[in-house]
Amino acid sequence: MGSVADAAADRRPLRLFFIPYFASSHLIPLVDIARFLAVRGVDSTILATPFNAALVRSTVDAAAAAGLRIQLLEYPFPSEESGLPPGVENISALPSSECYKIDHAIPFTRPALEHLLGLHRPDAVVSDAHFPWTIDIARELGIPRITFGAVGLMAYSVSQYVWEKQSFKDVARDDELVPLPDLPHPLLLARSELPDFLLQHTVYGSAIEEVYDADKASLGLIINSFTEFEGIYLDYFRRVFEIKTWFVGPISLIDSESHRRGVRGGGVNPAAVENRARCLSWLSEQKPSSVVYACFGSWSQFSGEQLREMALGLEAAGHPFLWVVREADGTEWIPHGFEQRVKGCGLVLRGWAPQVELLSHAAVGAFVTHCGWNSIMEGVSAGLPMVTWPIGAEQFINEKLVVEQLRVGAKASDSIRSATDSNRTIVKATELARAIGSIMDAGEAAEGTRRRAREFAEKGRAAVEKGGSSDKALNDLIEDIYVWHDNRKTAAGKAVDI
């Protein structure tokens, strides 16, 4: 009988296929995970439509050129079937109020994905949660499916909790704060702070049910987080929803050199390279920890009125700022005389910024964020206190983790806000300036917030180092897939014996 070591040596590399969703905030971390697994000997293939493949091609090519087994495999985006214009393959190409339309394409991708998976027969499929029916394909092929959840585990847990308990069904007012008992953290949420799809039996009703069923039938869930940040939800999630989770983050701290190089995820944005040079040169002239970096993710948009308040708030806060606005935002909202007044102390950048690289720059001292999960993880990794300005999706839940539970940030506004574009209230310049002051200025409270943020960065670094919790989780994930296959073979053998 061979030893455990022999058995390990006998194992051929796993072949894993990855299916990212059509959003940069899902695509970028999943490609990173595919890459980190390739570093551990996995043969990684990412299935992507042409536009999305182009966004990450330079990252994948560089990894392959460095000797890793990683590749992109393209499949056509079902533009005609889904009624989306040709070339619109990512939510960033749609106005934020219409980004849900990208989901119309998902059912139509099934034949192509089914064909590719059947043709190549990988050992497992790592599927974004948005493609729940990949569980059926995996079953047919006799391979495990693993869910990639592009949000944090607190958000994942609270969403599933709210959906299963229908916690807001009989609540009269949208802005009423409702206690959600039995979660690991005490939590009060207003219905307006949750995305529509968790609340009603809309077109999403059956879809969300399918997503949670597929999660439960999968081998487990991969999350870009780390035990010291959200560990309290690991046991909860397993106990209540019976789903195993591997925390593999903070992703931006694994192989951090390569994250800092180039224009990660901005592969088709012509301004990205130029933006990088401009930011780095400007930051090099600023004092350590003096700059407020403000960026709101890859697809969110604000009204002109809100952008104007934001400009005035950043100016009034009195700290140098680097502010990323979208190209589509136009210029008519720029306050009169603003550019003159902030010359030298404010840089407004249009388009794609090399966010991970900027956050880790010594001159940056705080992060104004919309609380997208990747941004939260990247801010935490850089040890930065955050001003939280959630806009939609699960971002309000993330805000509660950052501000109320872990106390590494301050809210841009204390009023109850809405996750729906049409109901959004304006955050005033004075509110933003006050929030920035509360984490940047002198004083015990602000210093406490900054210290806790630095401590979480240390813990995040330890998690991804050799032997750290996330490093082990990546190994466990590989091992769990091997074990799944071993068990299957054993079960098949037994069936024959009988």
Residue of 24, 245, 286, 381 interacting with ligand UDP (CB under 6 A): 24
Round to whole Å and give the CA distance between 313 and 307: 10
Smallest distance, Å, CB 297 to ligand UDP? 3
| Number of residues that this document lists for the chain | 498
Which CB, 371 or 463, lies closer to ligand UDP? 371
Residue of 265, 346, 365, 383 interacting with ligand UDP (CB under 6 A): 265
Smallest distance, Å, CB 61 to ligand UDP? 19
Residue found by looking up tokens 């619109």 in the block: 88
Is residue 201 part of the annotated active site? The answer reads no
Which two structure tokens, joined as six digits, stand for 315?
């100016």
Q: Residue 388, interface with ligand UDP (CB under 6 A)?
A: no
Smallest distance, Å, CB 280 to ligand UDP? 14
Task: State which of positions 366-385 bind ligand UDP (CB under 6 A).
Answer: 372-375, 378
Round to whole Å and give the CA distance between 461 and 464: 6
Residue found by looking up tokens 């592969």 in the block: 267
Smallest distance, Å, CB 366 to ligand UDP? 16
Which CB, 167 or 224, lies closer to ligand UDP? 224
Q: Residue 28, interface with ligand UDP (CB under 6 A)?
A: yes
Round to whole Å and give the CA distance between 127 and 148: 6
Is residue 255 part of the annotated active site? The answer reads no
Q: Residue 299, interface with ligand UDP (CB under 6 A)?
A: yes
CB 126 within 8 A of CB 14: no
Round to whole Å and give the CA distance between 61 and 272: 18
Q: Strand locations in 361-428, DSSP E?
A: 364-369, 386-388, 409-411
Which two structure tokens, joined as six digits, stand for 83?
């009624």
Of 88, 91, 27, whose CA–CA distance to 59 is shortest?
27
Position with the least CB separation from ligand UDP: 372
Q: Residue 298, interface with ligand UDP (CB under 6 A)?
A: yes
Smallest distance, Å, CB 309 to ligand UDP? 20
Residues 6+ apart with CB under 8 A from 477: 37, 146, 220, 222, 246, 248
> Per-residue x/- marks for ligand UDP, 447-466, CB under 6 A?
--------------------
Task: State which of positions 349-368 bind ligand UDP (CB under 6 A).
Answer: 352-353, 355-356
Residues 6+ apart with CB under 8 A from 441: none
- The residue annotated as part of the active site, out of 32, 43, 128, 471, is 128
Smallest distance, Å, CB 150 to ligand UDP? 7
- DSSP strand pairing (409-411 vs 188-190): unpaired
- Kindly determine how many residues on this chain lie close enough to bind ligand UDP according to the rule CB under 6 A: 21
Which residues in this chain contact ligand UDP in the complex, by CB under 6 A? 23-25, 28, 264-265, 295, 297-300, 324, 352-353, 355-356, 372-375, 378
Which residues are part of the catalytic machinery? 26, 128
